[in-house]
Amino acid sequence: MSNIAGKAYAMNVITPIRWYMAWINKLIFKIALSNPSTLKGLITLSLIHYARWVIIPRDNFPRLDPSQPKEELNYSYMLFFSNFNGSWDQYVDSFTFAIPSGLDLFWKWNVRYPKSVPLTPFHDYIRHNQIDTAHYYNAYPMAASNDVKSAQKIKKALINFNAISADKAPEEFFDDYNKLLNDLQHHFGDMKPTPIVSLSADAVRKRYLQIPE
Amino acid sequence: MATKSGNATALTVLSPIKNGSLDEVSFSDITRERCLRLPIHEKSPLSKVPNTYLARLFILDDVYYESLPANDRVFNFSDITSLFSDSARKKALPRKDHLKSKYLVFSSNFYGGLDEYLAGMWDNWSYVDHESIQRDVRHIWEHCVAFDRVTDSASFIHYIKRCQLDASLFFNGSTDDSLQEQLKSLYLKQEFTRFAVEHQGQGAAEIQQAFKAFIERVQPENLVTPTWPPGKSTP
């Protein structure tokens, strides 16, 4: 199991939804998509790289050959995948505290969804329906989602500064340079592996090399 | 279709695994073991697949819910109206579902179009496994239903598309730049942060001179080099 790749955690949650209610969820997602302000709460949670919701109708699990038995399910299923920074608790709790109503809206029609407040039943629900990842790959294990967004701003500002200010007289260059640092101060930061990286990477390494715990 | 957000694409694939076993180990367990044993970070085969931001593999053994098996036919409405007491609601327990196949789930977040990405997967997915054997993408999907019909890039793309599920909602909390662009930006952020710290307190002319040498070294507009390799896990 490797739910962690560097600073990112991979969450997979599968929850049943009554097939005749799935269309309501799809409609809610459609409205959320066409009206980005509804996702404002999610954007506040800047620890997320990418997340998605997939609804599998109960008769629509991929069937590739007549020899494969046909699924006979009572419910449709909603899959939730997230890539976020920090620990499981931090993530689940930040959802609960930042966007409880949005969370309830997305999961409301799922069987036995306990609502996001209070925390304990919600934790139980997610934990029970979560599936561990077997292999998780992250193109930038040392970077948090905020680092990726900050890096984009730094690159743009650096290229712009170089074009405009690099050849100015030293004093003018210095003024512009200080302004650049001032403008970018929220985006700086050395990126290193965190202790979480070494613990998890070590566990995976041991398993890979078949070293006993 | 919500599978795209700007230039970023969400790919969700459920490939059914054959029921059956080899040497008393089920095909799903063989597949799980192969996924678990994939090398990580820089050595992951996914680091070679162009434009992969974050991706994962796992086995869906069955479906789950937090409750006891029973029938909920009568009390469905209780979830909507909350007209019934808690004890009545507790009696309205859901039914029990089980899958008849296990599924290999592949989920990827990447930059660009699907066909190009899948062709990149077919061409570039390679790694050396724990027995020092060179493997390609077929090793992971080998025991999936109908995968024996996959022989080339076109049939692989066709196969994965048959297993693909559309996302109802794809949320991009990061950027939708190409991976090369993201990695170059991270490299510049790291290097420029260090430059700023190292040159703190120096005079104008000195910093200007050092800055020019810095730009020469880091080449901000050259996406190919110097940059971070995909999956870089150490400074």
Task: Quickly state the pLDDT bin for B65 (edges 50, 70, 90).
Answer: confident
Give me the pLDDT at residue B229, please. Answer: 98
Give me the pLDDT at residue A205, please. Answer: 65
Determine, for residues B232 and A142 on separate chains, whether the beta-carbon distance falls below 8 Å: yes
Give me the pLDDT at residue B83, please. Answer: 60
Quote the DSSP letter at residue A68: S
Which among B52, B144, B163 has CB closest to A139? B52
Along the 213 residues of chain A, how does pLDDT read in single tens digits? Answer: 589 898 999 999 999 998 888 888 888 888 888 887 777 777 778 899 999 999 999 999 999 999 999 999 999 999 999 999 988 888 898 888 888 888 888 888 888 888 888 888 899 899 999 999 999 999 999 999 999 999 999 999 999 999 999 999 999 999 999 999 999 999 999 998 876 555 666 776 676 666 665
Determine, for residues B14 and A49 on separate chains, whether the beta-carbon distance falls below 8 Å: no
With beta carbons less than 8 A apart as the criterion, state whether A10 and A88 touch: no
Tokens of B193: 């942060």
Quote the DSSP letter at residue A38: G
The single residue listed with the structure tokens 């210095």 is: A174
The mean of the pLDDT values for chain B is 91
pLDDT tens track for B120-133: 999 999 999 988 99
The answer, for B223 touching chain A at a CB cutoff of 8 Å, is no
Tell me: pLDDT of B108 over 90: yes
Residue to test with chain A: of B9, B28, B37, B58, most A Cβ within 10 A: B58
Measured between alpha carbons, how far is A42 from A38 in angstroms, rounded to an integer?
A: 9
Tell me: pLDDT of B197 over 80: yes
**Residue B231 to residues B50, B87, B98: CA-CA distances in angstroms?**
12, 51, 37
Give me the pLDDT at residue A162, please. Answer: 98
Task: Quickly state the pLDDT bin for B71 (edges 50, 70, 90).
Answer: very low
Strands B52-60, B102-111: pairing kind: antiparallel
How close is the nearest chain A Cα to the Cα of B3, in Å?
9
Interface of A with B in 4-43 (CB under 8 A): 5-6, 8, 10, 12, 14-16, 18, 25-26, 29-30, 32-33, 39, 42-43
pLDDT tens track for B203-227: 999 999 999 999 999 999 999 999 9
How close is the nearest chain B Cα to the Cα of A34, in Å?
10
With beta carbons less than 8 A apart as the criterion, state whether B78 and B88 touch: yes
Determine, for residues B169 and A10 on separate chains, whether the beta-carbon distance falls below 8 Å: no
Tell me: pLDDT of B82 over 70: no
Tokens of B197: 């710290």
Strands B126-128, B8-17: pairing kind: unpaired
Strands A8-18, A75-85: pairing kind: antiparallel
With beta carbons less than 8 A apart as the criterion, state whether A123 and A130 touch: no
**Residue B18 to residues B27, B92, B104: CA-CA distances in angstroms?**
6, 35, 10
Measured between alpha carbons, how far is B203 from A32 in angstroms, rounded to an integer?
A: 52
- Cα A179 to chain center, whole Å? 33
Give me the pLDDT at residue A135, please. Answer: 96
ipTM: 0.92
Quote the DSSP letter at residue A37: G
Tokens of B131: 């027995």
- Minimal Cα distance from B56: which residue of A? A136
pLDDT tens track for B24-41: 999 999 999 999 999 989
The residues, any chain, with a CB within 8 Å of residue B23's CB and separated by 6 or more, are none
DSSP string computed for chain B:
--SEETTEEEEEEEEEEPS-EETTEEHHHHHHHHHHTS--GGGSGGGGSTTEEEEEEEEE-----SS-----TTTTTHHHH--S-HHHHHHSPPPP---SSEEEEEEEEEES-HHHHHHHHHHH-EEE-TTS-EEETHHHHTTBTTGGG--SHHHHHHHHHHHEE--SEEEE-S--S-HHHHHHHHHHHHHHHHHHHHTTT--HHHHHHHHHHHHHHH-TT-SSSS-PPTT----
Give me the pLDDT at residue A211, please. Answer: 63
Interface of A with B in 102-141 (CB under 8 A): 109, 111-112, 124-125, 128-129, 131-141
φ, ψ dihedrals at A121, nearest 5°: -60, -35
Residue to test with chain B: of A50, A174, A199, most B Cβ within 10 A: A50
Give me the pLDDT at residue A32, please. Answer: 84
Residues of B in contact with A109 (CB under 8 A): 79
Determine, for residues B41 and A25 on separate chains, whether the beta-carbon distance falls below 8 Å: no
Which among B63, B105, B233 has CB closest to A141? B233
Give me the pLDDT at residue B70, please. Answer: 44
Measured between alpha carbons, how far is A156 from A159 in angstroms, rounded to an integer?
A: 5
Determine, for residues A135 and B35 on separate chains, whether the beta-carbon distance falls below 8 Å: yes
pLDDT tens track for A56-99: 999 999 999 999 999 999 999 999 999 999 888 888 988 888 88
- In this structure, the number of other CB atoms found within 10 A of the CB of residue A188 comes to 16
Please state the pTM of the whole predicted model.
0.91
Determine, for residues B163 and A62 on separate chains, whether the beta-carbon distance falls below 8 Å: yes
CA-based angle B16:B22:B26, to the nearest 5?
45
The answer, for B221 touching chain A at a CB cutoff of 8 Å, is yes
Residues of B in contact with A173 (CB under 8 A): 204, 207-208, 211
Give me the pLDDT at residue A99, please. Answer: 84
- Domain extents for chain B? 4-63+98-165, 177-235
